[in-house]
Chains A and B, each alone.
Chain A
Amino acid sequence: MTSTTDIADIAKIIGGDHVTVTSIARGNQDPHYVEILPSYMLKVRKADIYFMVGMELDLWAQQIIDGSRNRKVLIVDCSVGINKMEVPTGQIDASMGDIHRFGNPHYWLDPENGKLIARMVAEKLINHDSKNADQYQANLTQFEKDLDSAISIWTKRFSNLKDKDIIFYHNSWPYFSKRFGLKTVDFLEPKPMITPSPSKLNQVIQKIKSDGIEVIASESYFSDRAPKFIASKTKVKTVKLAQSVGAIESADSYINLFETNLTILAKAYGVSYD
């Protein structure tokens, strides 16, 4: 079992025919909030390993695991070993919005971190099922090779995205932006998970007009209303990106998640990417 579809896709690649993988959250769901259904507990009841995103993104997972009454399930936090970004310092509280104490948890949106997740998955599968260890190791090696190759190609093909200013709806994209050189200049949410206010929208409109910002990108699960309102007042283009595997139809695998998002952005900016 996994909390999200991204880890599920990686686990399927590493585990191959020896594993059955199910994700609790669907790709088009907001991973911060997943309604806890009894049927999820039944699924976890049969699981050998549960891979969590961690960093307090999928806090709901623990309640599902507890409710499963599965005494043997191994709980794995995939964020261990990740070089965490935006770890808050000093006093934090709810006045700062829905802030994550251990840093920004959207680390899977850097493909380099996909390799770390894959290594974690492989290690746990090898420990749990040592008779198929060679297969898991071979799958890991192949996945890392494929991902390295893809990163190398993306870096060249989408080099025109480098240093482009962008406004995101929610702060899900620091790992992605850092990897591909985008410059995040603002968010529609005044604070994490706080609905955009009229004054915030007005502030963003002024910034777009003064700085010539071309693109607003949002996660697939957010309403279009605020981005479209801003687009109606400016010349900005609005796009929806896949925050997870399955959020958009073409983002049907971990590698295609990046291919899809980079292509959407290149088209929005009108830059060549072939």
Chain B
Amino acid sequence: MLKKLVGGILFTTFTFSQTTVNPQFSVIGDLVMDHLHKDPSLLTSGIEIAVQGYVNPFARADIYLHKHNDDSPIELEEAVMTIERGLPFGLGLRAGKFRPDLGKINQSHAHLFPFIEVPAGMAKILGEEFWSATGVETNVFLPLPWYSNFSLGYFDSGISSHDYSDYEKDEDDHDHENDHKDKDDHNHDDEKDHGREKQTNAFSIRWSHFFELNNVNHLELGLSGYSGKDEQILGADFKYKWRPNKYRSLTLQAEVLQHSLEDEYMEKAVHPDEKLTVAYAMVNFQFNKAYNFGVLIDYWSLDLADDEGMNPSIFFGFSPVEESAVLRLKIGQLERENDEKNHKKNLKTTIQIIWSLGPHKPHRY
């Protein structure tokens, strides 16, 4: 499935495109260090490769690949064709593998996070790499006086299983023992993350609004929904931004997702009516051309099990040369499960160095 998808998009891009101009190539590299890991302290590093361009006057294609700095294979993050100005009635369409329009944070690539890592609560529902699935999504501007967009998507794999389908198919296609090992390892990790069986087919919806209050104040509101096999998610998000000039801004952003669980979560039995609620709230202040500072509160709870956790952290960013390189620091509490209801709390310091070549940049203020 994965190979067909990538092949199809590349074929379309390079065969039917009405130009001989090369697409844009960008590379974003990063290096993350934290003090919790013993030897060595370099935790992860890798690159994201972006290939972007117009297929024709009405559609564009975006392909994102990620390669960790280890023996793991190159991962396809997204390979999507977007029809933006080719459909009637203000319709837009995305088809391929991409991050569905579910909540605010799911569509963001990790290098855009001022707080370096995915909020732990959000990862409990969306996964460490967030939900990226193969499918089709349409969206439309609603005829309201402000910007109001409604999107509806159908996907071949749900949140609980978004990595499984590709691996299974790849295993069918190849029969290499090493591949099996890598994939089995990865699947095992995913099971740890999610603790649920593979599920197929899912729908997502989102209704988002944007209000330009005046030249310097903007407000975004969104409601999201997801339905997969025996699981539902509801979400709401909010973002306020004050930007009096290019080098000063204040962003307040918060998002909550509630996931109706089945009978098991993280390999533990839970009540059939159990709900996992996750949320984060962020304040980010850019106080001059190069520096920003902020606070992140990361929260999750299992309602009926009366189990919850919260990780506050502060973060700092330094971007010396516009958007081409960023140094980030985060100091925060990391809560880890010791036993059923006890959580061990550690102070975790994380440093990230991130750089870019080409037009796809590591952050946006």
Does chain A have a CB within 8 A of B146? Answer: yes
Q: Are A37 and B141 closer than 8 Å at their CB atoms?
A: no
Does chain A have a CB within 8 A of B85? Answer: yes
* Contact mask for chain A residues 89-103; partner B; CB cutoff 8 A; 1 contact, 0 none: 000001000100000
Q: Are B322 and A38 closer than 8 Å at their CB atoms?
A: no
Residues of B close to A35: CB separation below 8 A: 243, 364-365
A71 and B86 in contact, given A38-B210, A45-B141, A195-B289 (Cβ under 8 angstroms): yes
B233-252 residues at the A interface, CB under 8 angstroms = 243, 245-247
Q: Shortest CB–CB separation between residue A243 and chain B, in angstroms?
A: 13
Residue of A nearest to B88 (CB): A71
Does chain B have a CB within 8 A of A231? Answer: no
Does chain A have a CB within 8 A of B84? Answer: yes
Q: Are B247 and A223 closer than 8 Å at their CB atoms?
A: yes
A37 and B218 in contact, given A42-B147, A45-B141, A69-B85 (Cβ under 8 angstroms): yes
Does chain B have a CB within 8 A of A273? Answer: no
Q: Are B321 and A223 closer than 8 Å at their CB atoms?
A: no
Q: Shortest CB–CB separation between residue A39 and chain B, in angstroms?
A: 4
Does chain B have a CB within 8 A of A33? Answer: yes
A181-211 residues at the B interface, CB under 8 angstroms = 193-195
Does chain A have a CB within 8 A of B91? Answer: yes
Does chain B have a CB within 8 A of A166? Answer: no
Taken together as a complex, chains A and B put the C-alpha atoms of A223 and B288 apart, in Å, by 9
Residues of A close to B338: CB separation below 8 A: none
Residue of A nearest to B218 (CB): A37
Contact residue among A37, A66, A195, A221 (Cβ-Cβ distance under 8 Å from B246): A221
Contact residue among A28, A30, A37, A69 (Cβ-Cβ distance under 8 Å from B212): A37
Residues of A close to B220: CB separation below 8 A: 38
Q: Are B90 and A194 closer than 8 Å at their CB atoms?
A: no
Residues of A close to B58: CB separation below 8 A: 71
A42 and B245 in contact, given A26-B215, A71-B86 (Cβ under 8 angstroms): no
Q: Are A39 and B147 closer than 8 Å at their CB atoms?
A: yes
Q: Are B87 and A69 closer than 8 Å at their CB atoms?
A: yes
Contact residue among A69, A71, A221 (Cβ-Cβ distance under 8 Å from B245): A221
Q: Are B84 and A69 closer than 8 Å at their CB atoms?
A: yes
Taken together as a complex, chains A and B put the C-alpha atoms of A193 and B319 apart, in Å, by 13
Does chain A have a CB within 8 A of B290? Answer: yes
A-B contact count (CB 8 A): 61
Does chain A have a CB within 8 A of B357? Answer: yes
* Contact mask for chain A residues 61-99; partner B; CB cutoff 8 A; 1 contact, 0 none: 000011111110000000000000000000000100010
* Contact mask for chain B residues 64-92; partner A; CB cutoff 8 A; 1 contact, 0 none: 00000000000000000000111110111
Q: Are A39 and B146 closer than 8 Å at their CB atoms?
A: yes
Residue of A nearest to B249 (CB): A35
Does chain A have a CB within 8 A of B149? Answer: yes
Q: Are A38 and B321 closer than 8 Å at their CB atoms?
A: no
B306-365 residues at the A interface, CB under 8 angstroms = 320-322, 324, 357, 359, 364-365
Does chain B have a CB within 8 A of A29? Answer: yes
Q: Are A38 and B149 closer than 8 Å at their CB atoms?
A: yes
Interface of B: prevailing SS: loop
Q: Are B245 and A37 closer than 8 Å at their CB atoms?
A: no
Q: Are B147 and A193 closer than 8 Å at their CB atoms?
A: no
Q: Shortest CB–CB separation between residue A99 and chain B, in angstroms?
A: 13
A193 and B322 in contact, given A35-B243, A39-B147, A42-B147 (Cβ under 8 angstroms): yes
A1-42 residues at the B interface, CB under 8 angstroms = 26, 28-30, 33, 35, 37-39, 41-42
Q: Are A195 and B320 closer than 8 Å at their CB atoms?
A: yes
Contact residue among B84, B86, B212 (Cβ-Cβ distance under 8 Å from A67): B84
Taken together as a complex, chains A and B put the C-alpha atoms of A193 and B290 apart, in Å, by 12
Taken together as a complex, chains A and B put the C-alpha atoms of A33 and B286 apart, in Å, by 16
Does chain A have a CB within 8 A of B60? Answer: yes
Residue of A nearest to B212 (CB): A39
Residues of B close to A29: CB separation below 8 A: 246
* Contact mask for chain B residues 9-24; partner A; CB cutoff 8 A; 1 contact, 0 none: 0000000000000000
Residues of A close to B322: CB separation below 8 A: 98, 193
Residue of A nearest to B213 (CB): A39
Residues of A close to B210: CB separation below 8 A: 37-39
A69 and B147 in contact, given A39-B210, A94-B357 (Cβ under 8 angstroms): no
Q: Are A69 and B289 closer than 8 Å at their CB atoms?
A: no
Q: Shortest CB–CB separation between residue A37 and chain B, in angstroms?
A: 6
Taken together as a complex, chains A and B put the C-alpha atoms of A30 and B245 apart, in Å, by 9
Residues of B close to A98: CB separation below 8 A: 322
* Contact mask for chain B residues 267-298; partner A; CB cutoff 8 A; 1 contact, 0 none: 00000000000000000000011100000000
A66 and B60 in contact, given A37-B218, A38-B210, A39-B212 (Cβ under 8 angstroms): yes
Residues of B close to A195: CB separation below 8 A: 289-290, 320-321
Taken together as a complex, chains A and B put the C-alpha atoms of A84 and B141 apart, in Å, by 39
Residues of B close to A221: CB separation below 8 A: 245-246
A-B contact sample (13 more), CB < 8 A, given A26-B215, A59-B359, A65-B85: A38-B149, A42-B141, A42-B147, A67-B84, A69-B84, A69-B90, A69-B141, A71-B58, A71-B87, A71-B88, A193-B322, A195-B289, A223-B289
- Interchain Cβ contacts under 8 Å between A and B, 25 examples: A28-B245, A29-B246, A30-B246, A35-B364, A35-B365, A38-B147, A38-B149, A39-B146, A39-B147, A39-B210, A39-B211, A42-B146, A45-B141, A59-B359, A65-B85, A66-B85, A67-B84, A69-B84, A69-B92, A70-B85, A94-B357, A194-B321, A221-B245, A223-B288, A223-B289
Seen from chain A, the residues whose Cβ lies within 8 Å of a Cβ on chain B are 26, 28-30, 33, 35, 37-39, 41-42, 45, 59, 65-71, 94, 98, 193-195, 221, 223
Seen from chain B, the residues whose Cβ lies within 8 Å of a Cβ on chain A are 58, 60, 84-88, 90-92, 141, 146-147, 149, 210-212, 215, 218, 220, 243, 245-247, 288-290, 320-322, 324, 357, 359, 364-365
A-B CB proximity, top 6 nearest:
A38-B210, A39-B212, A38-B147, A66-B84, A42-B147, A69-B90
